Amino acid sequence: MKIKLKVWRQKNKDTKGAFKTYNVDHASPDMSFLEMIDVLNTELIKKGEESIAFDHDCREGICGMCSLYINGHPHGPLQTTTCQLHMRTFKDGETITVEPWRAKAFPVIKDLVVDRTAFDRIQQAGGYVNVNTGGVPDANEIPIPKRIADEAFDAATCIGCGACVAACKNASAMLFVSAKVSQFALLPQGQVERKERAEKMVAQMDAEGFGSCTNTYACEAECPKGIKVANIARMNREYLGAMMTSYEGSTGGGGE
Amino acid sequence: MKWFIDLFSSSIGRKVVMALTGLFIILFLMVHLIGNLQLLKDDGGEAFNVYAYFMTHNPLIKMVSYVNYAFFLFHIGWALLLTIKNRQARGTEGYAVTSSKSSIWSARNMGILGTIILVFLVIHMKDFWGQMHFGEMPTKTYGDHEVKDLFTVVGSAFQEWWYVALYCISMVAIAFHLWHGFESAFQTLGLNHMKYNPVISFVGKSFSIVVPALFAIIPILMFFV
């Protein structure tokens, strides 16, 4: 199949980018979207042009590295990661527009690659549990209801790809942060740092310059892992409760 | 005290201000509607005029009305602040292609809907609220009470077709604003539970249709009857 690709090209963080159109004449419907760009890049390298930079790693939908905004949707029209999106989703002869994630907190480094270390810093601010060293605890020592365990696990399936930020008209990171807050808040192991975690992760999220949630739920519709917006309500609850009742009073809030 | 400032300057805290003030305004809308429906009573405006006098003279109602004015201002002010912050969060370069499939129209356009409502609010306040509080107005006497005849003022305003049209358009804007706003407020406050979500959703959607529709029906009836 033949495809016309309109791709965002940008030399580096400080230069202005622009769209450039490429023709891919030998795309197979069985190719993944990333493989199609691989083919295009090989052609570009052969011609002596600079290849298109894009993020990718596992290519099996679990690492959260691939991050292309395709035809108005993060990860394209299907609710998958870009690596699991196949060319059969598109029509022969179609023009496909490929853009990087757009958010102040995710600056474009080159072409379609954005800097998502803001997510790492939010995670480092509180997305962990402290475990005392000692003998290995028995696996079934702490009873957890199946449904609670499932819900925590559902939240934990967030791969931190940033599609929620890309989809949100406010570039809000609340679906990501709420998934990370929820996966621990639901489980007994997460109780020790529960309040501190909600306070610190939200404060870091604000400091990174992400927007506020206006409950359009575009994030939930676009999330390749199906993270639910019920997590955002839980995070709001956790955060409000924590701010009003925690012992710690100096975690800082607000953006700039 | 620092925690308090941190809380309300955080992204979630700012949204909580929107949710709480919004829910209070929803309560106010209900009271306002019950008052307005008295316009349709066939008594030459006595019930409505007595009610309007009560609403402007009862000390408790006066106190609540000051809170209401303040909440309106907070709701508008915080909306502006959040909109500016959210625009900044998107960054300087926007998307070339966007899709509207993943969210509902009213959720994406609360600002535009809010602006229409604000314009309506200014006209509405100037013509009725302003007249009642500061204007010269004919009076009527019921028993030994002399009260301002707001009924006649409202009645003559609703003889103008464009005034009736303005009201109807504004009520449509309010309906769309509530369609998203009612449920959204509960989500922001963290009140999301599978046992109660269907109730919140049903009440929210019914409220956003029934209340603006009843508000709009008053000028329409007064225009044609």
Distance (Å) from the C-alpha of residue B146 to the closest C-alpha of chain A? Answer: 48
| pLDDT tops 60 at residue A249 | no
ipTM of the complex: 0.92
Note the pLDDT tens digit of each residue in A53-85.
Answer: 999 999 999 999 999 999 999 999 999 999 999
| pLDDT tops 60 at residue A255 | no
Q: Are A115 and A107 in contact (CB under 8 A)?
A: yes
Q: Which fold has domain A3-110?
A: Ubiquitin-like (UB roll) (3.10.20)
Residue A248 pLDDT level (bands cut at 50, 70, 90): low
For the residues A223-232, what does the mean pLDDT come to? 97
Average pLDDT, chain A: 94
Residue percentage of chain B with pLDDT more than 90: 82
Q: Tell which of B8, B80, B102, B184 to mutate to test the A interface (max A CBs under 10 Å).
A: B102
**Exposure of B81 by Cβ count < 10 A (0-12 exposed, 13-18 middle, 19+ buried)?**
middle
What are the extents of the domains in chain A?
A: 3-110, 116-130+141-245
Query: Is B1 in the A-facing interface, judged by CB distances under 8 Å?
Result: no
- What was the pLDDT predicted at A90? 97
Q: Are A22 and A28 in contact (CB under 8 A)?
A: no
Q: Are B85 and A211 in contact (CB under 8 A)?
A: yes
What are the extents of the domains in chain B?
A: 2-88+107-224
Residue A250 pLDDT level (bands cut at 50, 70, 90): low
Note the pLDDT tens digit of each residue in A21-44.
Answer: 999 999 999 999 999 999 999 999
Cα–Cα dist B56/B19, whole Å: 27
Q: Which CATH superfamily is domain A116-130+141-245 in?
A: Alpha-helical ferredoxin (1.10.1060.10)
Distance of CA B163 to the CA centre of its chain: 18
B104-136 burial code (b ≥16 CB/10 A, e <16): eebbbbbeebbebbeebeeebeeebeebbeeee
Question: Is domain B2-88+107-224 classified as CATH 1.20.1300?
Answer: yes
Residue A137 pLDDT level (bands cut at 50, 70, 90): confident
Contact residues, chain A, for B192 at CB < 8 Å:
229-230, 233-234
User: Is B85 in contact with A211 (Cβ distance < 8 A)?
Assistant: yes
- What was the pLDDT predicted at A256? 47
Nearest chain A residue to B106, by CA: A216
Note the pLDDT tens digit of each residue in B57-103.
Answer: 999 999 999 999 999 999 999 999 999 999 999 998 999 999 888 89
